[in-house]
Amino acid sequence: MTTLARPNAAPRTRRHAAAARAPRAPALAFVTLGCPKNTVDSENMLGLMLADGFRTVADPAEADVAVINTCAFLSSAVRESKQTIERVAEAKRTGRLRGLIVTGCLAQREGGALLAEFPAVDAVLGTGQWREVAQAARHVLEGGRDRVALTEYPGGALDSLTPRAISTPRHLAYLKISEGCDHRCTFCIIPRLRGDQQSRPIGDLVAEAERLAAQGVRELNLIGQDTTGYGTDLPGRPTLADLLAALDRIEALSWIRVHYTYPRLWDDRLIATWANARRVVPYVDMPLQHIAQDMLRTMGRAMSERDTRALVRRIRAGIPNVALRTNFIVGFPGETEAHFETLLEFIEAEPFENVVVFTYERERETPSHAMTPRVPLPVRRQRRARLLALQQRLSGERLRRRIGERVTVMIDGPAAGREAPRDAAWVGRTAGMAFEVDGGVKIEGGRFQPGELAEVRVTGAASYDLFARAEPRGHPQLPVLKGSA
């Protein structure tokens, strides 16, 4: 770009000259794959790097150093992570990129093997070595040639003193309450990647939640590999119910949402706390994985079919208007057509508002890898398609019954690709819809701010989404914090 001289420009002072000679902050591109727990780890690493003087850019081709925080929960996630590494490595071969660092679950899972597979990678940092990211980046940029792989211990970001850089929309944030898992489900590699349960003290979590609320966060999403296992490793053994009661007292928050609850550790006190808290939304994310007794046993779920069915009924009876979200795995070794039909019948009898279905993938580090008989891949895929088709029908029928209802939604912002004139379309969510993973509500009319709770009238429905019209604003009223599911 050509810069034209200004005829009447004043002479540059020594201070300006010194500023012009100051080194430019190195550019950082950060790529995050996987779940919200990885998002929190990335926010902590990004905060460390910003505090160390880095600046962020969106494109790795325009960066001096790139960090890829990877996922390795399933073989498909491993493939995506490796494809991303290869794509960013190309920017290092052809562009200005000088450093490439791989972190997260794939780093923990494969360690130094990634250095051999990807010559462009300069450092591999496992899940417990996230604090080393800025030092590793500086080492590369300062000319260090030795490549390192640090995976001595698994873990994740639980340090509340780290200068975290929030990457979600300003009105919502994730709060990681624990790391790791003490359960040993036969299909799951998470304990190997993240270690055993580690919980943060209640006072530490309340302090961070208050800081987030002061920054404008209105919806707090509690996450961990097993949130109902919270506190089992802490002195005095506080529970998730204790934590929810403490967080519920933070006045600036509107909604508190909990993800990843393990079914075995639910009890009546937790149900009662959930129902009575003003800010804890009636939304339960509880991965069940299956319902057939044989499958629950071989999966190592530590819950019988009878107890699982009873728990679902207890939660529905105890938490008014609750929306249930769950995960199922189809095609697990030994799953027969009868087992799968039992699962279909369960979903019809106890419908869930939100369902995620995984096709079983063999993971070599898990006990299920050696289990037989194996279900052929075409059968696994067919079963997943059948279950999703059933869920799509049930969800559409349920949402169509809501047409005409007045519901409370949290506004997330203008609809994609739209400005915000007076009659703009907005997107929001009911209390029964989690950010990014569930359906949403598209709203016509009204003028809102992200994070605002608004009253809307449902005018239409699709399989997973609602359409609504903004209700005229009446006299000021105290907000209904929980909203409707």
Same domain membership, residue 272 and residue 314: yes
Which H/E stretch holds residue 460?
A: strand 453-461
Is 14 inside a domain boundary?
no
Same domain membership, residue 188 and residue 60: no
Cα maximum dimension of the chain: 86
Same domain membership, residue 237 and residue 192: yes
Paired with 150 in beta bridges are: 125
Q: Tell me how far the alpha carbon of residue 200 is from its chain's centroid.
A: 18
- pTM of the predicted model as reported, rounded to 2 decimal places: 0.89
Q: Can you tell me whether residue 467 is helix, strand or coil?
A: strand
| Distance, CA of 304 to CA of 309 (rounded, Å) | 9
Same domain membership, residue 348 and residue 247: yes
pLDDT for the residue numbered 1: 30
Is 222 inside a domain boundary?
yes
The CATH code of the domain that includes 118 is: 3.40.50.12160
Q: Which of 400, 417, 451 is the last residue of a domain?
A: 400
pLDDT for the residue numbered 5: 29
The CATH code of the domain that includes 249 is: 3.80.30.20
Is 159 inside a domain boundary?
no
- What is the mean pLDDT of each successive set of 10 residues along the chain, which is 485 residues long? 31 38 81 93 93 92 94 91 94 88 94 94 94 94 90 84 89 95 92 91 96 96 95 96 98 97 94 97 97 97 95 96 97 98 95 95 92 97 97 96 95 72 76 94 91 95 94 54 65
Polymer length in residues for the chain: 485
pLDDT for the residue numbered 326: 97
pLDDT for the residue numbered 482: 66
Is 30 inside a domain boundary?
yes
The total number of structural domains in the chain stands at 3
pLDDT for the residue numbered 483: 64
Same domain membership, residue 61 and residue 47: yes
Q: Which of 375, 400, 425 is the last residue of a domain?
A: 400
Is 10 inside a domain boundary?
no
Over its C-alpha atoms, the chain yields an Rg (Å, rounded) of 25
Give CA separation, 447 vs 413, 423, 424, in Å: 10, 8, 8
Q: Which of 378, 400, 422 is the last residue of a domain?
A: 400
Same domain membership, residue 314 and residue 204: yes
- Mind listing the pLDDT tens digit for each residue in 272-316? 999 999 999 999 999 999 999 999 999 999 999 999 999 999 999
Is 16 inside a domain boundary?
no
Same domain membership, residue 410 and residue 391: no
pLDDT for the residue numbered 424: 53
Asked, as a colleague might, if the bond just before 287 is cis with ω within 30 of 0, I would say: no
Same domain membership, residue 380 and residue 411: no
| Distance, CA of 293 to CA of 284 (rounded, Å) | 22
Is 9 inside a domain boundary?
no
Tokens 């792989």 correspond to: 149
Same domain membership, residue 459 and residue 422: yes
pLDDT for the residue numbered 91: 86
Same domain membership, residue 327 and residue 389: yes
Is 162 inside a domain boundary?
no
Same domain membership, residue 312 and residue 197: yes
Which residues span the domain enclosing 418?
A: 406-470
The CATH code of the domain that includes 441 is: 2.40.50.140
Same domain membership, residue 323 and residue 200: yes
- Mind listing the pLDDT tens digit for each residue in 381-419? 999 999 999 999 999 999 999 999 999 999 999 987 554
**Torsion on CA atoms 113, 116, 121, 122, rounded to nearest 10:** 90
Is residue 272 within 8 Å of residue 318, measured between CB atoms?
Answer: yes
| Distance, CA of 327 to CA of 145 (rounded, Å) | 45
Neighbours of 177 (CB within 10 A): 25
Nearest to 310, CA basis, from 357, 339, 267, 259: 267
